[in-house]
Chains A and B, each alone.
Chain A
Amino acid sequence: MSTTAAPPPVAAPESERDERVGRYAGLAAVLRRPETGALVAAIVIFCYFSFTTTAFALPAGASTWIFFSSSFAIMAVAVALLMIGGEFDLSAGAMTGTTGLITGIMMSHWHINVWVSIATSLVAALAIGLVNGLLVMKTGLPSFIVTLGTFFVLRGLNLAVVKQIIHQVSVVDFQEAPGYNSGAQLFGSKVQIDIGWLPWVKVPSTGILTIYSATWWAIGVIVIATWVLQRTRAGNWIFAVGGAQLSARQVGVPVFRTKVGLFMTTAFAGWMVGMLSLFKTTTAQSTTGVGAEFIYIICAVVGGCLLTGGYGSAVGAALGALIYGMVYQGIIYHNWDSDWQYAFLGVMLLGAVLVNNWVKTRAERVR
């Protein structure tokens, strides 16, 4: 291309490079993995409880915390995606209750086919997610406030509507619903693996490791979420809308669609956990899930998600859930007062936030 004015002399590219670029490449690469800290913490906690309690590392004991962690992991991963996208969903916990109650009541009270019941609660969950997303995006209000509202609405409905219909607050006896077994197969089944042959499992009677279907679902969720985040356009957009929404809009990222999609994903995960809990415990309570919304957020933060958005990982959030699950059960096996878990959660959260903040300042530092 010919030039109209004398261009300034073009220096060789090499000399233009900031000599500090790349100096911290090795360290940065490790720090850039949000889940590093959570992985280390998970290993430490596993070792601690394995050596200080007898039941923790044995198959029967492990089965419990694996299940517990799995259902938390599903929600933590979804909430992590939302947080990376720069939003919160405080209604996520109550959502697990709402979906379980809808399906449970349809089966127990009206004896509706299990798949119809499951599909109905799915539609309801997605609708609530859509409402959350639309409210946040249309009004521009912080999602913290909007979903706090949704949370209280759901919490109220879970009690009021359920009492109105079945005159009690827990749904039971829905095993007679048409097709129940096929639904239970999908959400409430378990696989028992005999690992009594392992040398360190000394007690044969507890040598059965039970893997509930929640664990398979959780693995699926983690894999898909990681794939989406790292390898798809949607994942790129999630990071972008959380990291700098205006910049993202500027370059043509569909911000509205991405965020509403994230709220619906969280609601979808809430439905999944609602179903898993319903079919495993064969009961649903009006209070199910209330209070869990903060635990999901804590799991995501412990897993490296920034509260301010734009940074985090699905695997990290799952590790956060694993830590929470192990500690929760570990405290029980230790015969400590279970109230300690809240104190632990608080310390964990503060520690994680400090570490994350440090990572963020490093990554964002303008040289």
Chain B
Amino acid sequence: MSTDVVGQGDHAVGPQLPPPGTPIIEVTDIGKTYGSVIALRNVSTQVKAGEVTCVLGDNGAGKSTFIKILAGAHTHTSGEFVVDGEKRRFSSPREALALGIATVYQDLAVVPLMPVWRNFFLGSEVTKGAGPWKRLDIARMKTITKSELAAMGIDLRDVEQPIGTLSGGERQCVAIARAVYFGARVLILDEPTAALGVRQSGVVLKYVAKARDRGLGVIFISHNPHHAYPVGDRFMLLRRGRSMGNFGKSELSLDDLVQMMAGGAELEALSHELARQMPDSEVAKNMEFDVAETLNAPADDASSEDPGS
């Protein structure tokens, strides 16, 4: 990558990136209870510099609880949360941010009516002058925005346009570029592709890879294994608040991942149920087909099922 350090030189925000492969975040048997409700238990994983750790799970699996602990929005109630070899317990997102753990939320990334450059520097504006003449250094901020976005492969003609006029994917990318510029070492991306079309998702995935190649540790939360698999180095599956294990990319094929996510047998039962109740439904037929396809793909254990029953 020839563009990976653009912008890193002219600012000194945040700590330096460790060499790739160094674990930045390690969580061991982490858990969270809300009163008597157990939202998350015994979850362990690692985030290494220059790697993408995917957290996968269906709705309600505990993904958001997990990332909120990492982002500092919630504190964990059990287990260990270690950053750079030191045990941590965040009480606010600011603390996480100070350690270079930045979160980009799906919908909360930008202020749509504000120009791109104002969004990019929002909350960390560059100023010049002193006293009553202390003012925004607009020219500088525009230049940096333009070059930083160019380094991430987004070329805007006019950084003055409201960010709402960009596509959803581009907005996510601006938010990612912003976190990278302001010294993030770990980037938590909450469902960055959930609301996007196929092409837009591809664009975002490309920037995830770029951030990784810059040496950042990335936590990619998704319910879509097809998006997670291509960029992920490590996969952690959550179901009903429990970890279903950590896997390196080499230990797991995409089909394995899809099957694990879908919950194998459960999904199959559901497809049969649908077929029985609505025999003519297009959805049920499609679903049955999908299930059969997925389950048969590993080609051994699931082949006994008859998809046409």
Residues in A lying within 8 Å of B, measured CB to CB: 1-5, 7-8, 10-11, 13-14, 16-18, 21-22, 25, 28-29, 32, 227, 231-233, 235-237, 239-240, 243-244, 246-248, 250-253, 306, 310-311, 360, 363-367
Contact = CB atoms under 8 A, between A and B. Distances in A.
B260 interface: no
A363 B162 contact: yes
Contact of A236 (B93, B125, B212): B125
Contacts of A363: 112-113, 162, 164-165
B203 to A, nearest CB: 8
The interface size bin for chain B is 35 or more
A24 to B, nearest CB: 8
B242 interface: no
21 contacts: A1-B50, A1-B215, A3-B50, A16-B153, A16-B155, A18-B166, A21-B158, A28-B161, A32-B162, A236-B114, A237-B123, A239-B111, A239-B118, A240-B111, A243-B112, A243-B114, A250-B109, A251-B122, A363-B113, A364-B113, A366-B164
A10 B153 contact: yes
Interface of B: 1, 3-5, 17, 20-21, 50-51, 93-94, 97, 103, 105, 108-114, 118, 121-125, 127, 134-136, 138, 150, 153-158, 160-162, 164-168, 170, 178, 203, 205-206, 209-210, 212-215, 230, 233
Nearest to B137: A231
A95 B206 CA distance: 55
Q: Is the contact region of chain B dominated by helix, strand, or loop, or is it mixed? A: loop
Contacts of B136: 231-233, 235-236
**What 9 A-B pairs come out closest when comparing CB atoms?**
A252-B123, A243-B111, A251-B123, A364-B164, A22-B157, A13-B155, A244-B111, A231-B135, A233-B125
Nearest to A245: B111
A247 B109 contact: yes
A18 B138 CA distance: 25
Nearest to B206: A8
A366 B206 CA distance: 21
Given A3-B213, A11-B153, 5 more contacts: A7-B212, A232-B134, A233-B125, A250-B109, A364-B165
B51 A4 contact: yes
B196 to A, nearest CB: 11
A85 to B, nearest CB: 12
B182 to A, nearest CB: 9
Nearest to B1: A1
Interface centre among B124, B166, B203, B213 (most CB of A within 10 A): B213
